[in-house]
Homo-oligomer: A and B are copies of this chain.
Amino acid sequence: MFGDMMNMMGKLKETQQKIESTKLRLDTVLIDEKSNDGLLQVTLTANRKIKAITIDESLLEDKEQLEDYLILVLNKAIEKATNINETELAAVAKEGMPNIPGMDLFK
Integer count of this chain's copies in the complex: 2
**How far is it, in angstroms, between the C-alpha of A13 and the C-alpha of B104 when the chains are bound?**
9
Q: How far is the CB of A49 from chain B (nearest CB, A)?
A: 6
Q: Is the CB of B104 within 8 A of A16?
A: yes
Q: Would you list which residues of chain A between 3 and 24 have a CB under 8 Å from chain B?
A: 9, 12-13, 15-16, 19
Interface size class of A (residues with CB under 8 A): 20 to 34
A28 adjacent to chain B (CB < 8 Å)? no
Q: Is the CB of B63 within 8 A of A16?
A: no
Which A residues lie at the B interface, using CB under 8 A? 9, 12-13, 15-16, 19, 48-55, 57, 60, 63, 66-67, 70-71, 74-75, 78, 82, 93, 100, 102-105
